[in-house]
Amino acid sequence: MADSRTTTQILQEMLEVPGIKAILIVGKDGFVIEAAGSFGKTDLDNVGASVATVILGTDKMSEELKIQAFNSLTFEAADAMIICVPIGDALLVLLAPDNKTLGMIRLQVKKAIPALEKFF
């Protein structure tokens, strides 16, 4: 049976995973395509631009090292964790307050990627 969910529905389902606070889908140009969750007063356009800059840097690094592009990228800080996963020509960016549920988050991301890739 074909998956008829929209990107909004998929992101809302992902927000139900314990530990996921917010989700962005960012074009590789830095444009925020969609957002879900709690970002407070954060300027999402600046976040999207920053994500694109980091990803361009990792792409350049993988070319220089002659390795394949990354499958995921995780940043950990004392009060947050950011996970970036390529989905087609876009990036799925998840924000979590800590790494306590990282395994569950990664499992749910793997499940969601095929449904999201058809949009990007």
Q: How far apart are CA 39 and CA 62, in angstroms?
A: 31
Q: Is 2 within the bounds of a domain?
A: no
Round to whole Å and give the CA distance between 22 and 85: 14
In a domain, 1, yes or no: no
Residue that wins the pLDDT comparison between 80 and 3: 80
What pLDDT shows up at residue 1? Answer: 59
Residue 97's nearest CA partner among 73, 74, 79 is 79
Q: Could you tell me the residue range of the domain that residue 20 belongs to?
A: 7-117
Q: What is the pTM of this model?
A: 0.84
Q: What is the pLDDT of residues 9-24, one digit of tens each?
A: 999 999 998 889 999 9
What's the mean pLDDT when you consider all of the chain?
87
C-alpha 78 chain-centroid distance: 19
Q: Does residue 102 form part of some domain? A: yes
| 91: in domain | yes
pLDDT for 56-78, tens place per residue? 888 888 888 888 878 888 888 88
Q: Is residue 73 part of a domain?
A: yes
CATH number of the domain that 110 lies in? 3.30.450.30
Q: How many domains does the chain have?
A: 1
Is 92 within the bounds of a domain? Answer: yes
